[in-house]
Each structure stands twice: as structure tokens, then as C-alpha cells.
Structure 1
Amino acid sequence: MKALIASLALLATPALADGFGAAGVLSGSNKEDLPPIILSAGEPISAEPWLLKSGTYYEFEIQGDGSQELALVGPEFFRAIWIDEIVVEGLEIRPLGLDSVEFDEAGEMEIGFLAIKPGAYSMQIPGTTGETQRIEIIIE
């Protein structure tokens, strides 16, 4: 009975009057947009490293220009975040995990995620060794 009364009291509060409250870590005030990653043959993928804060929600675009089949791998980074969704041509994908993405032709995707595990990570074009073919990521 006490649980029922407590539940009804929560529903009566103004913030939860419609049954839904603020989304907390997924609320708009906790969201930041990151610069896009550009996948183009022989071109740098990012101008600067990303400095992220654990508990903050981020969105970024990956843009492939179709100049070559190019992938982006970063399994350690992808395991340090919670991926909310990946949007490709208006289709929303909600994966349990991710190792890499690949562009066989020109296209664009947007990834929304919550930074979780502090550390130093990277994403890179597989098989490359140049610094411009990777992006360094720090989660504080």
C-alpha cells in the first residue's frame, strides 16, 4: 500500500504530471555535438583530438565521400561508450555494441552516444599508420 501511495505522489508532482520526467543524462542540456569525421582517400579524418567528459551525451557525423572503400575501427573506444543510436539515411539503429563502420560508397551516418569509461582511445582507418588517419579520444 505504501508503494502505491508513493507512486501516486510521484505522478502528482508537476515534473512528472504526464508520467515522464527529464531524461537525466540523455536530456538536451547534457548533449554536445562533436566535429564530423571525414573519410576520404589520403585526407586527414579529423582536425583535432576529442576531449570528452564521462556522463555527457555526444553526437557526431561520419561522412564518406566515396573516393575509396574506407572503414573506421575503434573497438576499445566503442566499448568505453554506450551507443544510443546510429542514424543512416533516416534509419535509426540501436546496437548493443560496435567494432567498426565501413563506407563502400559516399554516404553519411550520425552516431549518438554517452561517454562512460575514462581513458585514452582512438579510432582509425584500418591498415594505416599515419597520425592523420586516426583520431585520438580522451574520456575524462
Structure 2
Amino acid sequence: MKLFRRFFFAALAGFVLAPTGASADDATPKPSRASKNLPELIIGSADSTYAVNQKDFELIAGQGYRWKITSKGGFEYKFVTDLFRNVWMDQIVINDLEVHMDGGPAWLEFDDAGTIQVQFHTVRPGEYTWSVPD
């Protein structure tokens, strides 16, 4: 019986002193119901056809986002990302025209300067790359 009491009090002390999962996660951003705007990605500029204004974007799993991708370089761009295979695609907006899809696009192609807005919900956490291949 004494052995059981020692074990019980040791377990109780360990439980009380151990940090809870809620306190460890408090610093982690939580998804909200409202879609958030990502910083606009601008591909190309007057000085360089391969310039980009931002390379890295940090997203929260389960969050909805609106992302404007703009071509300004006067060059034909094919925007490719494996992120589109790991999100729920809500819509793509081009010149106030909406494209609703049942899955992500393979790529976005800019034949001229312009903006495409992509609206999606993140599904899988991870690191995803994006590129503008030849």
C-alpha cells in the first residue's frame, strides 16, 4: 500500500508540474474563420524580368487566404507551386471573372502584365516551393 501511495504522489506531482499542451501552443497562431490577405507577389519589374518582391510566405494550416500574384515584367511567366496540390482551392479571379475549381491548377500562366488572385484554404502543413520555370 505504501508503494502505491508513493507512486500515486509521484505521478500527481509530475502531472501538476508538467506544462500543459494549451500553454505550449498559446504562441502558435490559430486559424480564423475569415480569409486573410497574403502580401502580393510581384513577378518581374522594369529593371529585371526575373525580380520578385518577396520569396517566402508563412501560412497557417486550416486558414483561408487571398493571394494576388502580379506580373509586371512584360515577359511570359509560368507560375508553378506544389502548394496548389495541398490546399482546397476556392476560386481564381482574373479581371473580376471568377473560376471555381474542383482541385488546384497545375500552374498559372501570364502572357502579359496583369494580376491573378487565388483564394484557397490550407489543408496540409509543410514547406512548399514555387518557381517560374523556363
TM-score, with structure 1 as normaliser: 0.65
Is 1:85 matched with 2:87? no
Q: Distance in 2 between matches of 1:70 and 1:36?
A: 16
- Corresponding residue number in structure 2 for 1:35: 39
Deviations 1:51-89 (A, max 9, x none): 111110001101112511111101x21111011000001
Structure 2 unpaired stretches of 5+ = 1-30
Percent pairwise identity: 29
Q: How many residues align?
A: 99
Shift of 1:48: 4.3
DSSP-derived class of the 2:83 partner: helix
- Matched residue type, 1:32: K
Instruction: Please identify, of 47-56 and 113-122, the stretch whose mean Cα deviation from structure 2 is larger.
Output: 47-56
Q: Distance in 1 between matches of 2:43 and 2:119?
A: 18
Larger Rg: 2
Deviations 1:27-49 (A, max 9, x none): 43xx21101111211212x4241
TM-score, with structure 2 as normaliser: 0.67
Contact 1:66 1:103 in 2 (8 A): no
Is 1:106 matched with 2:110? no
Q: Which runs of 4+ in 1 moved over 4 A?
A: none
- Matched residue type, 1:55: G
Contact 2:78 2:109 in 1 (8 A): yes
- Matched residue type, 2:77: L
- Corresponding residue number in structure 2 for 1:132: none
- Corresponding residue number in structure 2 for 1:53: 60
Shift of 1:106: 1.2
Contact 2:50 2:73 in 1 (8 A): no
Q: Distance in 1 between matches of 2:86 and 2:122?
A: 7
- Corresponding residue number in structure 2 for 1:125: 132
User: In 2 relative to 1, CA 103–84 (structure 1 residues): closer, same or farther, beyond 3 Å?
Assistant: same
**More strand per residue:** 1
Structure 1 unpaired stretches of 5+ = 1-24, 128-140
Q: Distance in 1 between matches of 2:98 and 2:86?
A: 21
Q: CA RMSD in A?
A: 1.7
